[in-house]
Amino acid sequence: MKRKLRSGMSASLLAVAACIALHSPHSLAARDAQTILKETCQGCHTPEADNALSRISHQRKTPEGWLMSIARMQTMHGLQISDDDRRTLVKYLADTQGLAPSETDGVRYALERRLNTVEQFDDPTHQMCGRCHSGARVALQRRPAQEWERLVNFHLGQWPSLEYQALSRDRDWFDMARKEMVPLLAKRYPLDNPAWKKWQSAAPKAEALVGDWSFSGHLPGKGELAGVMTVSADGSDIFKVSVKGQYADGSPFNGDGSAILYTGYEWRGNVTIDGVTMRQVFAAQGNAMQGRMFEAEHDERGLDFVAAKQGSQRLLAVQPGYLKAGSESEVTLIGSGLTGKPDFGKGVEVLDVIEQSPERIKVKLKAAANAQPGVRAVTVGTLKGPSLSVYSKIASVKVVPEFSVARIGEGGGSTPKVQGRFDAEAWGKGADGKPYRIGVFPAQWKVEAFDDRAREDEDVKFAGTMQADTGVFTPGDAGPNPARKMSTNNAGNLKVIAAVDDAGKSLTGEGHMIVTVQRWNNPPIP
């Protein structure tokens, strides 16, 4: 295995293997982290005062970040380390040199593998760094200036051709990286940050996560779901997890698995739901968990997940979150510690409470025919947060994500296809003339050629198939296709069109999807 690793196993394969490790609890550490650091790292990293090692002791990052650094030591520098030792080290380093919750705010999408996120980093980060990998990879690290500088040196030393690439050959990349980027990064992402010190001393105990959690979620192409996740302790920072839930259409969402807690809040779970392994990447703090749960083999198939510990008081979601003026409909509130009659604001009447427990309240609502269109805060007692949108007609439809990437796969190769998964969002026009989000509606889906080139190349015919009633697009097989011009592959450039019916009137929205080749290099942080 080790020999093979160095000679043949690709960095991406290693990263995938390592990522699986990150989500599964290991046997109790056979060797402690200090011993491993001494015996496997110290050969190349110089000991310093206070038990520190050069480079390693001067950075903070996420579990995925540490995993990538160590995986790089293996693929590029010939480090030999067992999977068990690597797990022990990642855990230790993420715990002692991790990021505070506030330091990961706004960039968790990269950990949650929301790969269709369009990043908004300002120049120069965007062009100088974000052209090869996500800006989040940068924002999820903390270092002093010297370590940012070494990182720049490492980049050029390892990939000297980067200076000849687009967005480098038009400028003096190395000079700019050292003189502009290093000071900027050291200021924006410093090693020493009061937030981290505070988190280290004030982080809640892991045992506080043990118990029943009420959760709510949404899976594009399938809909909303809710249920209970039971967490029990299975060692230090290790948990057993059991999920019992249901989609709005009644289909089950049940399974079991395990999870490990890094840095006091970075929850990484591995749960098999109805035979399919899903990863959990949550921020778990006190009585709240939030993040994304996605299929291990298909991270594009994932759901937004939010949970509240039973016994705490929180209103998580209103399912569905909309109601048409002049109509009656059943709506379910999900949360914990829910008591009393919910209130949905002006013009919305609760006709009947069909079901009521601290975790769920199901009601029948009626919106007055003249109820003003717009968003209303929903309250249960003192609890609030989610909203209900009342509408009389849909003004426009948005395809979400507006821009996305699907990937061809299989076709004799081992890389799976990456699907496109879409939601149709209905938007209304408020009394103030401003657009407001009504919610996700059922739609009829199709794809069309994005431009003349795509029309000429018959991309619609070759690039894949859109499922008309779910918005799930499955790309074509990988490899050359003799039926296409110059036997090219099944890539394509497509418009994604959703048609939503509003009382007999069809409204359409449009998105853009690139169907491209496999992602060969797929590290834990994109």
Per-residue DSSP letter, 346: T
The two structure tokens encoding residue 165 = 């690439």
Question: In this chain, which of 8, 43, 275, 504 binds ligand HEC, going by CB under 6 A?
Answer: 43
Shortest distance, CB of residue 6 to ligand HEC, whole angstroms?
11
Token match 């069109």: residue? 497
Q: Which stretch binds ligand HEC (CB under 6 A): 155-163, 308-316, 358-366, 468-476?
A: 155-163
Q: Is 45 in the site for ligand HEC (CB under 6 A)?
A: yes
Of the two residues 509 and 524, which places its CB atom closer to ligand HEC in the complex? Answer: 524
Shortest distance, CB of residue 195 to ligand HEC, whole angstroms?
19
Q: How far apart are CA 488 and CA 511, in angstroms?
A: 25
The alpha-carbon radius of gyration of the chain (Å, integer) is 25
Shortest distance, CB of residue 121 to ligand HEC, whole angstroms?
11
Q: Is 141 in the site for ligand HEC (CB under 6 A)?
A: yes
Q: How many residues sit in the footprint of ligand HEC (CB under 6 A)?
A: 40
- Number of Cβ within 10 Å of residue 473's Cβ equals 25
Q: Is 481 in the site for ligand HEC (CB under 6 A)?
A: no
Q: Which stretch binds ligand HEC (CB under 6 A): 146-154, 227-235, 249-257, 464-472?
A: 146-154
474-483 burial string, b = 16+ CB within 10 Å, else e? ebbbbeebee
Q: Is 111 in the site for ligand HEC (CB under 6 A)?
A: no
The two structure tokens encoding residue 192 = 């020493």
Of the two residues 169 and 346, which places its CB atom closer to ligand HEC in the complex? Answer: 169
- Nearest CA to 375 out of 390, 360, 396 is that of 390
Q: Is 122 in the site for ligand HEC (CB under 6 A)?
A: no
The two structure tokens encoding residue 195 = 């937030």
Of the two residues 3 and 205, which places its CB atom closer to ligand HEC in the complex? Answer: 3
Q: How far apart are CA 103 and CA 119, in angstroms?
A: 17
Site string for ligand HEC, 68-107 (x = CB under 6 A): xxx-xx--xxxx-x-------x------------------
Query: 322-324 and 387-391 as β-strands: parallel, antiparallel, unpaired?
Result: parallel
- Count Cα neighbours of 395 within 13 Å in the Cβ-side half-sphere: 15
Of the two residues 74 and 493, which places its CB atom closer to ligand HEC in the complex? Answer: 74
Q: How far apart are CA 234 and CA 125, in angstroms?
A: 42
Q: Detail the DSSP E strand segments found in 49-116.
A: 52-53, 60-61
Q: Which stretch binds ligand HEC (CB under 6 A): 53-61, 196-204, 440-448, 478-486?
A: 53-61
Of the two residues 177 and 388, which places its CB atom closer to ligand HEC in the complex? Answer: 177
Shortest distance, CB of residue 174 to ligand HEC, whole angstroms?
10
Q: Is 443 in the site for ligand HEC (CB under 6 A)?
A: no
Q: Which of residues 161-180 bind ligand HEC (CB under 6 A)?
A: 162, 177
Q: How far apart are CA 219 and CA 225, in angstroms?
A: 8
Shortest distance, CB of residue 104 to ligand HEC, whole angstroms?
14
CA-to-CA dists, residue 48 to 35, 383, 392, angstroms: 16, 52, 69
Q: Is 9 in the site for ligand HEC (CB under 6 A)?
A: no
Query: 505-516 and 403-407 as β-strands: parallel, antiparallel, unpaired?
Result: parallel
Q: Which DSSP string do the residues of 203-228 spell out, in sequence order?
A: PPPGGGG-EEEEEEEEETTTEEEEEE
Question: In this chain, which of 110, 111, 115, 152 binds ligand HEC, going by CB under 6 A?
Answer: 152
Shortest distance, CB of residue 502 to ligand HEC, whole angstroms?
47
For the chain, report the end-to-end CA distance as a whole number of angstroms.
26
Q: Is 154 in the site for ligand HEC (CB under 6 A)?
A: yes
Q: Which of residues 291-330 bind ligand HEC (CB under 6 A)?
A: none
Q: Is 40 in the site for ligand HEC (CB under 6 A)?
A: yes
Which residues of the chain form contacts with ligand HEC (CB under 6 A)? 11, 40-41, 43-45, 55-56, 59, 65, 68-70, 72-73, 76-79, 81, 89, 128-129, 131-133, 137-138, 141, 150-152, 154-155, 159, 162, 177, 181, 185, 523
